[in-house]
Structure 1
Amino acid sequence: MDKEVLLTKFRGSMVGTAVGDALGASFEGQWKLREEEVRASAGQRKVLKYTDDTHMMIGVAESLIENKGFAGKHMAHRFIDNFYKEPFRGYGPGPPRIFWLITAGEAWDKASEKLYPGGSYGNGAAMRIAP
């Protein structure tokens, strides 16, 4: 596939994810929604604000671009830097605790085991996989 076409697809997937995240942010945790509620909410907001999911997806993309591939330690520190710049994005309790552990010297690939010895059962990785 042509590189420009591929880059356009990457951008499109990220923009689509960010828009969906921002539109859905006010409904997070709700089980039943009616279409008219969603339309009314989207129509009332002049500015859409994305959440931690998009914020971390951006961090993934930034790190992949800077390193021309995956560099785990760099990506972890990108997440940390981005979090401290904009902690208001709706992060749950886990990521900030993991960020603190890494900042305190824990290895980037071991820090989550301190909180989740059996591994995380959340969907965070799926939320930031777009790039």
Structure 2
Amino acid sequence: MLIELAIGDAYGAGFEYVDRQEVVRHNNLSYRQHPKHTGTLPGMYTDDTQMSLAIAELMLSGDAWTPLNIAHRFVEVFKRDPREGYAEGFYHFLRKNTGGGEEFLAHINPTSDKSGAAMRAPVIGLLADKQEVLEKAEIQAAITHCTKDGINAAQASALIVHFFAWEGGKKQDLAPYLKANVKGDWLSRWTGKVRSKGWMSVRAAITAIAQADTMSNLLKNCIAYTGDVDTVAAIALAGASMCKEIKQDLPYWLYGDMENGTYGKAYIETLDAQLKEKYFSN
């Protein structure tokens, strides 16, 4: 699940807010260099994946699910592997942090309604208890996105994975399931460019999943929206990786060409295996 999230993020990173004509020309399931973000090379993931690693590592650690522990993890994963892709203000906020989670919580402005809390929430959906998913998604969201829309988007993002992994859900039932469990308009079909609000990325991911039969087509369709497509693809591919109705046919080169440094492909696949063992071994 994490590796598919990372592939969606890394592939989408080459198309984030790129002109539609460029998307149409290059949306061919090969990693692409973004024309402006030259620090993120083809196959490199961004903040969507890095912050998801923070959440996954905390889940595997068994440490208490507290704002301080979550904030510690956010700082830790960035400091050990600084990378671009974060919103500029948040990037500099993390760069200047020398006091770990305590400093993070003391100085963060938690009023965003953008997609940061939703993009890192899918892994929480691996928890078997729906109420626990909702509670933990809200706690982590409130650290940085303590707004109605920010929290709702994170909860819906996490429940996409939970719905397929634990409810055995059908694609056609996903939007009604989310509507029944999280406030927000999850039923309306998304069209057009995806901007920075968290609910937009989640709505677009829901629509893309409902219309897809294969992971390859899902990924291309996420990018075809244009806009904040790396986040849409990360959320959608994470959920769809658990869906029995969607063929798992991502091209082998999207795995092989993903970055594979210390915290790259092999590390992410190891975390995936550990998460599977922890939550699905019985």
Normalised to the residue count of structure 1, the TM-score between the two structures is 0.68
**1:21-43 deviation line (CA, Å, top 9, x unaligned):** 01111111125221x5111x616
Structure 1 residue 91: deviation in Å?
2.1
Counterpart of 2:9 in structure 1 is 21
Structure 1 residue aligned with 2:115, among 97, 109, 123?
123
Name the CA shift for 1:103/1:97 in 2 (closer, same or farther; >3 Å). Answer: farther
> Which structure is higher in helix share?
1
Structure 1 residue 121: deviation in Å?
2.4
Counterpart of 1:84 in 2: which secondary structure? helix
Name the CA shift for 1:43/1:112 in 2 (closer, same or farther; >3 Å). Answer: closer
Structure 1 residue 97: deviation in Å?
4.3
Aligned-pair Cα RMSD in Å: 2.8
Name the CA shift for 1:15/1:107 in 2 (closer, same or farther; >3 Å). Answer: closer
Amino acid of the residue matched to residue 111 of structure 1? H
Higher relative CO (CA 8 A, sep ≥ 6), structure 1 or 2? 1
Q: How does 1:1-131 map to 2 (within 5 A)?
A: 12=1, 14-32=2-20, 33-34=23-24, 36-39=25-28, 42=30, 48-67=43-62, 70-99=65-94, 100=96, 103=99, 106=103, 108=105, 110-113=106-109, 119-131=111-123
Q: Distance in 1 between matches of 2:89 and 2:44?
A: 21
Deviates more, 1:96-105 or 1:83-92: 96-105
- 4+ aligned runs moved over 6 Å, structure 1: none
**1:29-72 deviation line (CA, Å, top 9, x unaligned):** 125221x5111x61678x62111110010001101221355222
Structure 2 residue ranges without an equivalent (≥5): 34-41, 124-282
Normalised to the residue count of structure 2, the TM-score between the two structures is 0.34
Contact 2:14 2:31 in 1 (8 A): no
Contact 1:23 1:48 in 2 (8 A): yes
**1:72-131 deviation line (CA, Å, top 9, x unaligned):** 2112111111111111242222323444467285462x5322xx6xx1121111111111
Structure 1 residue ranges without an equivalent (≥5): 1-11
Amino acid of the residue matched to residue 121 of structure 2? I
Name the CA shift for 1:89/1:44 in 2 (closer, same or farther; >3 Å). Answer: closer
Q: Distance in 2 between matches of 1:129 and 1:15?
A: 14
Contact 1:101 1:111 in 2 (8 A): no
Aligned length: 111
Amino acid of the residue matched to residue 37 of structure 1? H
Q: Distance in 2 between matches of 1:19 and 1:82?
A: 18
Contact 1:63 1:78 in 2 (8 A): yes
